Homo-oligomer: A and B are copies of this chain.
């Protein structure tokens, strides 16, 4: 299976073009468009989302990850094998946490180039065909890199910021829930938020935090929008207060 994770947005032809580029290489591929609204221009936020999104997928899945503001410039294209799954994308920090959290990891800068390579859309021209090649067990030319040679290798283990806001207005943070005590209080914009377990058990309109379905700490409002409730934005910091 090949899955696409991009910041292309839901409109426009870009996801479809990438999808088609994969099918052109091997028409029997299964392609899932996993997410197309990763935060733009900020690969360091998506870096914390990608490992959680890809975690439930089976070994041998290939993920094409494209948040690529430096496209056409000097940034390298990467392919990463992490615990049996493959990741293809730009070397701009986007794959840094995938690498960090893998037990076993091989990293290559991709030296293969397609016959035609645009300056603005390596997702279609380079990353998609490389993903299709990997999925078809074909070799792809590259140069080995160590973990410390990629961008973002110094990023922290977790990020106490809002890294994604979903269509319901839920605020997803870069903090793994397993590391946080359930009695903790989260502070966002000077407001204290208590833990809740289940949406339907919180009074409508009231905010709570919980371990979301990706295992990240998420701030939500039952039948409402936490984004509107807190006037929150991507990158807003949170604080975690252990309840003593």
Report whether over half of chain A's contact residues are helix, strand or loop; otherwise say mixed.
loop
Closest residue of B by beta carbon distance from A215: B118
Q: With A71-B200, A73-B201 as given contacts, are A20 and B8 in contact (CB-CB < 8 Å)?
A: no
Interface string of A12-29 (1 = CB under 8 A from B): 111011011101100100
B-chain residues with CB within 8 Å of residue A40 when the two chains form the complex: 168
Q: Is A41 among interface residues, defined by CB-CB distance under 8 A?
A: yes
Any B CB within 8 A of the CB of A197: yes
User: A21 contacts which chain B residues (CB < 8 A)?
Assistant: 56
- Chain A 198-231 interface 0/1 with B at a Cβ cutoff of 8 Å (1 = within): 1111000000001011000000000100000000
A23 touches B35 (CB 8 A): no
Contact A197 B34, CB 8 Å, known A13-B53, A20-B3, A213-B125: no
On whether A23 and B27 interact (CB within 8 A), knowing A8-B167, A200-B72, the answer reads: no
Q: Is B1 touching A20 in the complex (CB atoms < 8 A)?
A: yes
Please encode chain A, from 30 to 69, with 1 for each CB lying within 8 Å of some chain B CB and 0 for all others.
Answer: 1011111100110000000000010011100000000001
Known interface pairs A53-B13, A166-B12; A120-B210 also in contact (CB < 8 Å): yes
The 6 closest A-B pairs by CB, nearest first: A9-B167, A121-B213, A72-B198, A16-B34, A73-B200, A118-B213
